[in-house]
Amino acid sequence: MTASRSDSLVVLFGATAGAYGAKLGSDERELILLVWQVVDLPGKKVGTLHKSLVKADNLELSDQCREVSGLTPEGLGKAEPLDRVLQQFIQLVSSDLKVLGRSSYTLCSDGQLLIRQVLHPETSKKNFLLSDCFYSFYDLRKEFHTCYPSSAAVKDQTIKTMAEYLGLGTDETEEDFGVWQVKTMVAIIFSMLSESCNHIFTEPETVKYKYETGPCSKSETVDNETVIRARGLPWQSSDQDIARFFKGLNIAKGGVALCLNAQGRRNGEALVRFVNSEQRDLALERHKHHMGSRYIEVYKATGEEFLKIAGGTSNEVAQFLSKENQVIIRMRGLPFTATQEDVLGFLGPECPVTGGKEGLLFVKYPDGRPTGDAFVLFSCEEYAQNALKKHKEILGKRYIELFRSTAAEVQQVLNRYMSTPLIPTLPTPIIPVIPPPYTIATGSIRDCVRLRGLPYTAGIDDILEFMGDATADIKPHGVHMVLNQQGRPSGDAFIQMKSADKAFMVAQKCHKKMMKDRYVEVFQCSGEEMNFVLMGGTLNRSGLSPPPCKLPCLSPPAYAAFQTAAVIPAEAALYQPQALLPAARTPQASAAAPPTVTYYPAQAAQLYMNYTAYYPSPPVSPTTVGYIAAPPGAVAAAATATHTPILPQPGALVRMQGLPYNTGMKEILSFFQGYQA
């Protein structure tokens, strides 16, 4: 039982199987110890001191934990699990309150970490609810600094420094671990209650019970010190999933913004806004904590970035989102002729929409044409779950996709479509921008190594950790992750070393070394062999087998730019496609149809690379292959250098995605009616 101003405190101390002190909870290790004692504030009396060990799922203890606590896995193996310990905690506290003649209490801990970074995240992962008493607590460090303003800053306080400031005994060896901490905290509280200070505990810290949704206006001011970027989220994550990942920390109302890519799909990132900078700093300590089996990266972000994603100006959206605490579902792939009645009929009576037609928001282009997207409001989780069960069911002749959504996603989708020009302008020709010193290796010098059998989740950091001290011998931008035709990791990587000797040593040292749960094969190779493999050949300790398409057998596409993620070397130039093909395979070009301008790499062998695509990356982080619009002068200069005249193009190609499978030429011509030249 708790109250806004309690007549008792429950002084609480805890420890995990991992980090201690300022890093408590930062390593996701489980709670293994709870020590507590009830303090009667008006009577200045105390109840019985209780110490309880907690049996963790993983009984392995860190060296720091063993040294500081003196606990052993054997002792913890006989303890009760966390849910039972917390039940005993509630029962024993209630019993002590009756003995002291008190009825209400509030927790008091040494700082924020035990409550916010340990208890709430761990119970959330183990899927059991905490008692209401854990949603309100006093931070002894803040209360102490309020009572003694001349003491050290709150972030620098510890139980020992507070005791030293008051001249209390600080010999921790006199008591068991945890017992000394609680007894000292009680002594500090009694000093604060003395007549000289007469401190009153009035404003406890609070933990939000649940995340509150809501709209965000672009006119709002968002503090830069309250926003983080979470990266690596599962694509199906909702705002509630993200709020659960940050359980124990107070997220601002409508403070979760899922980021979308250029195609309007989630890209695995989200911006999260917290109520203050203190909560943001605690969120940063959850860097590489896990959501399911995936670890999530957490970085600082700015208020401007948050507003760019979550902010909106549309009155229609503001009105749609004005109904608070609603579950938002996004529908994608609707027939363009679908009406509100069609959508309500599709959802059915088992999942009633909030407000009927008012709970539907169709996404349209500026000219009023439908995009096939819509957002729907539901008043409770049950109705939303019923709607999600209709994922990929048929409406008309199309299957409909349904996903959880957020207010920020509604704003993003509406902003993206409403800012789309009615008649898009043709893009300026693009040229690749790659730093000239970092070109892909060629030649017969065996100064490269190939890694085969990498886990598909492996990234640059994993490879660098796998190579150990040899990372110092990697050339700048010398790590090349090999992707398949779908742009996903293939399990291979090439690394350019500073010399053939370094490559040989790495191959000998790291061959069949374990990365995560897989062993990785490491072969020494040359730049020439690397290019053969990228074209589809094979390389192992038995030698090199040439690719099946060693000789050109396909005409290169006459697109305006590469559509794959293949690397374009820095020395790439402008070519006419006809100039690169054998005469016998080149169709006769009519005088009325001038050749198109296409970008191809200087090395003709890479023109036919249709097996894998790869990108260059430096040690530490991947490099994005950038593209910039080429000014007319650059295009003309490139044409002059290759003695190829550039003629005006009579038209341009566009690519259409998402067409129904039964679409014919007549439907496509009808779709573009009014845009013919």
Rounded average pLDDT per 10-residue block, the chain, 677 residues: 70 95 94 96 93 94 91 92 95 94 93 96 94 95 94 92 88 82 94 90 93 83 95 88 95 90 81 96 96 94 90 74 83 93 94 91 88 92 93 92 86 74 46 46 83 87 87 84 74 89 92 89 86 66 56 38 38 36 42 40 33 36 37 48 45 71 72 61
Enter the tokens of residue 26.
């930062």
Q: Are strands 136-139 and 393-395 parallel, antiparallel or unpaired?
A: unpaired
The pLDDT score that the predictor gives to residue 460 is: 83
- What's the order of all strands across the beta sheet hosting 513-515? 513-515, 518-525, 448-452, 489-497, 474-483, 613-617
Residue 610: the pLDDT is 31
* Domain 8-206 identical in fold to domain 448-535: no
Picking from 198, 266, 275, 265, the residue whose alpha carbon sits closest to that of residue 232 is 266
CA dist., res. 570 & res. 381, Å (int): 53
Helix (H) or strand (E) holding 217: strand 216-217
What is residue 472's predicted lDDT score, i.e. its pLDDT? 87
The CATH number of 315-419 is: 3.30.70.330
CB neighbours of 127 closer than 8 A, spacing ≥ 6?
none
- What is the predicted pLDDT for the residue at 520? 93
For residues 501 and 507, give the distance between their C-alpha atoms in angstroms, rounded to a whole number: 10
Domain 8-206 homologous superfamily, CATH: Ribonuclease H-like superfamily/Ribonuclease H (3.30.420.10)
Distance CA 458, CA 328 (A): 34
- What are the structural domain ranges in the chain? 8-206, 216-312, 315-419, 448-535
**Superfamily of domain covering 216-312:** RRM (RNA recognition motif) domain (3.30.70.330)
| pLDDT score of 645 | 45
pLDDT of residue 575: 36
CA distance 166 to 196: 13
DSSP state of 116: I
Dist CA 677 CA 656 (whole Å):
18
To which residue do tokens 């945890």 refer? Answer: 178
CA dihedral 236, 240, 243, 247 (to 10 degrees): -110
Kind of pairing between the strands at 626-629 and 430-433:
antiparallel
Q: Which of 90, 103, 74, 89 is nearest to 8 (CA)?
A: 103
The contacts of residue 424 (CB under 8 Å, 6+ apart) are none
In sign, the C-alpha dihedral spanning 377, 268, 256, 293 is positive
**Separation of alpha carbons 368 and 418, rounded Å:** 10
- In sign, the C-alpha dihedral spanning 339, 342, 346, 351 is positive
Specify whether the backbone of 536 is left (phi greater than 0), alpha (psi in -120 to 50) or beta: left
Q: Which two tokens stand for residue 49?
A: 């001191």
Residue 352 class from Cβ within 10 Å (0-12 exposed, 13-18 middle, 19+ buried)? middle
Query: At 174, is the secondary structure helix, strand, or coil?
Result: helix
pLDDT of residue 630: 43
Instruction: Kindly provide the b/e burial profile for residues 39-64, where b requires at least 16 CB atoms within 10 angstroms of the residue's own CB.
Output: bbbeeeebbebbebbbbbeebebeee
Which top CATH class is 448-535?
alpha beta
H or E element that contains 207: none
